[in-house]
């Protein structure tokens, strides 16, 4: 069985599991250029983007991002999004988000989204852009009602260690992805928790997640 971690900040516990490790474009560039990091880079997949908390020098960040996205190891753009708790104003966040959403369209790679307290904004953004690439909301911990609303708008939702069971049921089977994010935990543990919460056999669950990974174009 193959296990996929759609959003993490560190390599997987089991080297054979497939992790999409997230980097800021500036850091990604330095990792790719540094000799000692080449091995871990070869073994993993990556997402690269500008997080709403870390919009610093947006013009340079976007330029670096654009220069990296052709790399086959980078399989998704993000995490990008809206966060009402971030220092940066929502209008600047929106500009950076739209720029990244357009880059995701240009390179035909899915967009991984960080969204905090800005659900109407993210739904409005999707209606405005009408993307061809999948939009994946990572770390989803909202309720069932919100999950239904997002699935109806065509989003994928990625779940981690803690989640709302009704929301999980709303996205199962074909809109669900799995992640560890910044937790130093085994992705297999998250798989087990989700499969148990759904009362689904682990083999069936694992197979379905692989289908969904293919569905978002990562495999």
Which residues of the shown chain bind Zn ion in the complex (CB under 5 A)? 181
Query: Can you read off the two tokens belonging to residue 167?
Result: 């929301």
Residue number, 161 or 166, with CB nearest to Zn ion: 161
Residue number, 166 or 186, with CB nearest to Zn ion: 186
* Cβ atoms of 137 and 146 closer than 8 Å: no
Q: How far apart are CA 106 and CA 144, in angstroms?
A: 33
Residue number, 64 or 181, with CB nearest to Zn ion: 181
Q: How far apart are CA 133 and CA 105, in angstroms?
A: 6
Q: How far apart are CA 21 and CA 74, in angstroms?
A: 9
As measured in angstroms, the least distance from the Cβ of 177 to Zn ion is 13
DSSP structure class, residue 200: -
Q: How far apart are CA 112 and CA 125, in angstroms?
A: 14
Residue number, 117 or 128, with CB nearest to Zn ion: 117
Q: How far apart are CA 119 and CA 149, in angstroms?
A: 10
As measured in angstroms, the least distance from the Cβ of 219 to Zn ion is 21
Q: Which residue's CB comes closest to Zn ion?
A: 181
* Cβ atoms of 157 and 150 closer than 8 Å: yes
Burial of 156 (0-12, 13-18, 19+ CB in 10 A): buried
Residue number, 5 or 181, with CB nearest to Zn ion: 181
* Cβ atoms of 64 and 29 closer than 8 Å: yes
As measured in angstroms, the least distance from the Cβ of 200 to Zn ion is 26
As measured in angstroms, the least distance from the Cβ of 179 to Zn ion is 8
Residue number, 24 or 181, with CB nearest to Zn ion: 181
As measured in angstroms, the least distance from the Cβ of 5 to Zn ion is 11
Q: How far apart are CA 76 and CA 47, in angstroms?
A: 5
As measured in angstroms, the least distance from the Cβ of 92 to Zn ion is 20
């Amino acid at each position: 069985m193959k296990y996929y971690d759609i959003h993490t900040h560190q390599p997987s516990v089991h080297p054979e599991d497939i992790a999409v490790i997230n980097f800021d474009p500036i850091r990604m560039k330095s990792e790719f250029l540094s000799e000692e990091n080449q091995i871990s880079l070869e073994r993993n997949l990556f997402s690269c983007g500008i997080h709403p908390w870390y919009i610093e020098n947006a013009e340079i960040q976007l330029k670096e991002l654009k220069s990296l996205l052709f790399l086959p190891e980078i399989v998704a753009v993000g995490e990008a999004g809206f966060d009402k708790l971030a220092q940066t104003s929502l209008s600047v966040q929106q500009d950076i988000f739209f720029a990244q959403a357009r880059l995701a369209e240009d390179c035909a790679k899915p967009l991984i989204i960080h969204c905090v307290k800005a659900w109407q904004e993210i739904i409005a953004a999707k209606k405005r852009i009408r993307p061809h690439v999948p939009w994946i909301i990572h770390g989803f911990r909202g309720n069932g009602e919100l999950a239904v609303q997002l699935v109806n708008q065509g989003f994928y939702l990625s779940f981690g260690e803690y989640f709302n069971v009704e929301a999980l049921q709303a996205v199962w089977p074909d809109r669900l992805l799995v992640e560890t994010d910044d937790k130093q935990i085994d992705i297999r543990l998250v798989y087990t928790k989700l499969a148990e919460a759904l009362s689904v056999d682990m083999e069936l669950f694992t197979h379905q997640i692989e289908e969904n990974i293919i569905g978002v174009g990562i495999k």
